[in-house]
Amino acid sequence: MVLANGYVHAQKITLGGKVSSSTDGPLENANILAFAVSRNTATVFSISNQKGEYQLKLEKGAAYSITVNYLGYEELVFEYTALKNEIRDLVLTPKASVLDEVVLEYKIPIEVKKDTITYQTDAFVNGKERKLREVLKKLPGIEVDREGNVTAQGKEVTKVLVDDKTFFTGNSKLAVNNIPANVVDQVQVLDNYNEIGFLKGLRDSNELALNIKLKEDKKKFAFGDVEVAGGPDRRYLVHPNLFYYSPKTTLNFIGDFNNVGTKSFELGDYIEFNGGFGKLLGDIRGYVSLANDDFSKFLSNTDFKTNTNRFGALNLRRSVSKKTDFNSFLIASSSDAETQVNTLNIYNGNDNSFDENRTETEALDGFFLLGKLTLDYEPNSKEDLAANTFIKLTDNNVTGALLTQSFGMESSFATNSALQAIDVKQNLEYSKRFSRKQTLSLESTINLVKSTPVNNWVADRSFLEGLIPIQEDDQIDILQELDRRTTTIDLVAKDYWVLNNFNHLYTTVGANLFFDSSSTKEIQHLSDGSINNFADNGFGNAIDYRFTDTFLGLEYKFLSGIFTLKSGLFYHNYLWDNSQFGNSVNNTAKALLPEFNAEAEFNNSEKLHFRYKQWLRFPQSNRLLDNFMLNSFNSVLLGNPNLQSERFHSVSLTYYRFSLFRGLNLNASISYNRKTQTVKKNTVLGGIDQFVTYTMFNEPENSLTGDFRFSKRLGKVKLGIDASGNYNEFFQLVNDNVSKNFSRSLSVTGKVETFFDKLPNLEIGYSFEPSNFEASAVTNEFINKEFFGALSYDFLNNFKLKADFKQVDYENRTQNLTNTFNLANISLFYQKEDSRWGFEISANNLFDTHIRRQNSFTDFLIIDQTTFIMPRVVFFKILYKL
């Protein structure tokens, strides 16, 4: 494959060979540039691979001036006319002196260093691009999906910087969908990224950062654009993107006000705000808590019948001095939405199986505010002090109606749930390098959370009979109030001792403290004005839960040839207790938890990584409750104050290969997880009603996951295959019976994408996703098939046509249910060259599809879900570029 910036012609001549040093052998990542003598012929370039091989695809009969550059070597220049395919080896001579100044009139399109790839974007774009995402899609080795998630070198980008500074939260979606394309000068891919430079090589980092370098005339300049749109049915969209950059001050504002279904902040953005997937997965307790909080559940909903969003994000950064940097951002969002979901629930009990049809409609009124303030002080190159303050405010209200049908009977509910919460976190991190051999890092975090969820169910008849103490009335009105206050304190000190270039010794000491004070209250409002308090019948909870983990860890890291090995052993002393109504349960545990990492780096772009880790997870306070708790309209919980920890073993193997020369990305991984001690739900089913208790379970449960991603670029065409598979075996405890269940799923996607300069560009693909669930000798099988395509075409100099389409075939083979739905969007954009004004007409959900289908599993429940989505939306947009 050749990295070339040119047009497609009928005949090409290949000039190839090896680039080598006159003294040191093959040279990897040398830049070979072919400058055409004729202005009508494009410049062509190539980069040598690890064997020094290069390849140029040249226009037959064209004359070129070929330049070869490599850092520390004399530039090689020769004239060449492309008459026939030829092999020519190129030999470079080391510079006699590095003091000579060299001025390059042509910037090297791609510069590769060990952990950094730098793209000169002008070599790849044509000036028709509107946003950063369109620039990135044209850079070899970088991919952008429809949501704005970015992968580079086959790895997910975890942070986005602009001129070396974090852009808002660092999440890629805000950057790629909003930064104008015409301000971008360079794009840098930074592997093994670490914000503190002197910790690189000491603190393991899987972060891959994207650094957007602005053009010189934009570095003290205000720029951006404003979009305004309107359409039938009172559709509107207002989307300002305003940016100001200077050497000392950065001010960014992104706004999005619309009723066309666009959400600017979703669950993935919230995860990034809290540190990102990479950091949170290293803190399992924090990740589980975050993924299950009420705010996450609100954000995870992405399908609506109607949706109005009001979103604003403000980012201010100020360099107070050369040593002190101040950064802050504030994100606020308010939304109103309506949803409708029809669900077929298949209950797989041990003794029988039955179905429930459920219809839920909801009206959501949500508001949240997220803020972060950071002060970074770097007195010298060997010290760094960072103070971070986070705040989160939440105020959500959901009003709905629910109809459930099973066993020939139906019940209807009016529902309301409200959540008010405040979350404040203060983090302080100090790092100092005392010498080449000794570095110390200290970190402390305190997190205060207060939340007050309220749930209300109003039914036309009694429900959960025998499980809750309902008094008969004209209507059944149940109110549940919850109050939770938590305090988390984390203290960690880590010493990095560099014995020599091949041996490191790391010592970690720390403590995690967690305090949780929670209460629940359930009552029934009666029509005569009186109250039936469920506390008289074993409901109502008040728990004080305390958890302490003090730990000491020792890790040894050494380098041997291509191998980097790190083994660690962590000693933990756990103390946890809960107090409820004068009764206290105290627990202690000690554990030695090993970790092992091994990486083979065959070269800069090919690695194999193995990891083993053992860890414990402790029960959340709601599983320890000593009294009954109403969990939903068909579920009652009873906790177990004597629950112990869960134990996990995790093993993973990852292979990574990337080649700019061959246009190749390959990522393959397999991971195995085993639970040897688990907290299990023990469910008693009475129809759809569930009584859930918790117990310790010592039968092992296993899961196996595999992922494969491959892409190959052939000239102007890229081929890709993505595949993932999952196998789970686990136990369900239902109606005092224990059974072993199995679930299997597979997803395979193949696609083709083109990158022509003057022809329409297409992306076409097909996905096949079978899955099945086996429980109690009953097998349920689902198949999803999807054909998708996208078109992008620049024509008549000033027009841009974009369209995307997908057809989804859904099949529930067990229930003999099938459904096919089509989704399509189309837009036509016009902007005259050098004009500040642009005009666009768009149609979302072109075929006016009303529903989408999906399925999922729990331990005894199979869920076949139909979700209603936004109808067709047509609007006309005007864009003004600052």
Q: Is the pLDDT of residue 2 over 50?
A: no
What are the distances in angstroms from CA 369 to CA 251, 310, 313, 327, 485? Answer: 19, 12, 10, 17, 19
**pLDDT tier for residue 9 given thresholds of 50, 70 and 90:** very low
Residue 292 confidence (pLDDT) above 60: no
DSSP for residue 94: B
Residues 6+ apart with CB under 8 A from 187: 118, 119, 121, 135, 136, 139, 142, 210, 211, 212, 213
The pLDDT value recorded for residue 108 is: 76
Residue 791 in this model has a pLDDT that exceeds 90 = yes
pLDDT of residue 482: 96
Residue 391 near residue 371 (C-beta atoms within 8 A): yes
Distance CA 519, CA 534 (A): 14
What's the Cα-to-Cα distance from 124 to each of 108, 339, 829, rounded to whole Å?
12, 43, 21
Measure the CA–CA gap between 283 and 514, rounded to whole angstroms: 14
Residue 807: CB partners within 8 Å, gap ≥ 6?
786, 787, 788, 820, 821, 822
Could you give the CA distance from residue 473 to residue 456 in angstroms, rounded to a whole number? 16
Mean pLDDT of 89-110: 67
Instruction: Find the mean pLDDT for residues 46-50.
Output: 84
Structure tokens at 162: 């602009």
Q: Mapping DSSP to helix (H, G, I), strand (E, B) and coil, where does residue 631 land?
A: strand
Using the predicted structure, report yes or no on whether residue 790 has a pLDDT greater than 80: yes
Six token digits for residue 76: 């090689």
Pairing mode of beta strands 606-617, 646-659? antiparallel
Query: How far apart are the C-alpha atoms of 162 and 223, rounded to whole Å?
Result: 14
DSSP β-bridge partners for residue 880: 226, 837
Task: Output DSSP code: residue 471.
Answer: P
Please give the pLDDT value at position 349.
64
- Alpha carbons 764 and 786: distance in angstroms, whole number: 11
Q: What phi and psi, each to the nearest 5 degrees, are found at residue 832?
A: -70, 140
- Nearest to residue 397, comparing CAs of 420, 414, 423? 420
Q: How many CB atoms lie within 10 A of CB 119?
A: 26
Instruction: Give dist(CA 664, CA 660) in Å, integer.
Output: 7
Q: What are phi and psi of 497, to 5 degrees?
A: -115, 115
DSSP states along 178-191: TSBGGGEEEEEEEE
CA dist list (Å): 421 to 392, 400, 448: 8, 21, 11
pLDDT at 628 exceeding the cut of 90: yes
Q: What is the DSSP string of 269-284?
A: HHHHHTTHHHHHHTSH
Per-residue tokens: 21: 């040093």
Cα angle 629, 634, 638; round to 5: 25
Instruction: Give the number of other Cβ atoms within 10 Å of residue 807's Cβ.
Output: 16
Residue 106 has pLDDT above 70, yes or no: no
- The pLDDT, as a whole number, for residue 277 is 45
What are 597-626's pLDDT values in tens digits? 999 998 878 899 999 999 999 998 989 999
Q: Which of 15-19, 144-148, 209-213, 610-614 has the lowest mean pLDDT?
A: 144-148
Q: What is the pLDDT at residue 663?
A: 82
| Residue with more model confidence, 146 or 253 | 253
Look at residue 280 and tell me whether its pLDDT is greater than 80.
Answer: no
Nearest CA-CA partner of 766 in 746, 747, 785: 785
pLDDT tens track for 301-332 = 678 899 999 999 999 999 999 899 999 989 99
d(CA 618, CA 572): 13
Return the pLDDT at 464. 95
> Please, which pLDDT band fits residue 294 given cuts at 50, 70 and 90?
low
**245 has pLDDT over 70:** yes
Residue 288 is predicted with a pLDDT of 52
Collect all residues with Cβ–Cβ distance below 8 Å to 507 and sequence separation of at least 6: 494, 495, 497, 552, 553, 554, 555
* Domains of the chain, CATH where assigned: 1-106 (2.60.40.1120), 392-612 (no CATH)
> What are 208-225's pLDDT values in tens digits?
899 999 888 877 778 889
CA distance 621 to 615: 19
pLDDT band of residue 298 (cuts 50, 70, 90) is: low
User: What is the full DSSP assignment across 323-392?
Assistant: SEEEEEEEEEEEEEEEEEEEEEEEEE-SS-EEEEEEEEEEEEEEEEEEEEEEEEE-SSTTEEEEEEEEEE
Kind of pairing, strands 737-754 and 717-734?
antiparallel
Pairing of strands 12-21, 90-92: parallel
Report residue 209 as tokens: 């950062």
User: For 726-731, what is the mean pLDDT?
Assistant: 94
Q: What are phi and psi of 544, to 5 degrees?
A: -115, 115
pLDDT at 174 exceeding the cut of 70: yes
Question: What's the confidence (pLDDT) of residue 100?
Answer: 45
pLDDT at 281 over 60: no
What single string gives the DSSP state of each residue in 835-851? -SEEEEEEEESTT---E
Distance CA 106, CA 108 (A): 6
First to last CA, the chain: 39
Average pLDDT value for the chain: 88
**pLDDT-based confidence at residue 295 (cuts at 50, 70, 90):** low
pLDDT bucket at 671, cuts 50 / 70 / 90: very high
What's residue 29's pLDDT?
82
Integer Cα distance of 130 and 138 in angstroms: 13
Q: Which two tokens stand for residue 508?
A: 């970690």
Pick from 415, 407, 308, 398: which is nearest to 359 by CA?
415
Res 580 pLDDT > 80: yes
- More confident position, 141 or 370: 370
Longest dimension (CA), the chain: 99
Three-class secondary structure of residue 554 per DSSP: strand
Q: What angle do CA 741, 742, 745 make, to 5 degrees?
A: 150
Cβ(874)–Cβ(842) under 8 Å? yes
Q: Are strands 25-26 and 86-87 parallel, antiparallel or unpaired?
A: unpaired
Residue 98 pLDDT > 70, yes or no?
A: no
DSSP assignment of 33-75 equals: EEEESSTTS--EEEE--TT-EEEEEEETT-EEEEEEE-TTB--
Measured distance CA(424)–CA(426) in Å, rounded:
7
> Are the CB atoms for 707 and 668 separated by under 8 Å?
yes
Return d(Cα 470, Cα 475) in angstroms, integer.
11
pLDDT of residue 748: 98
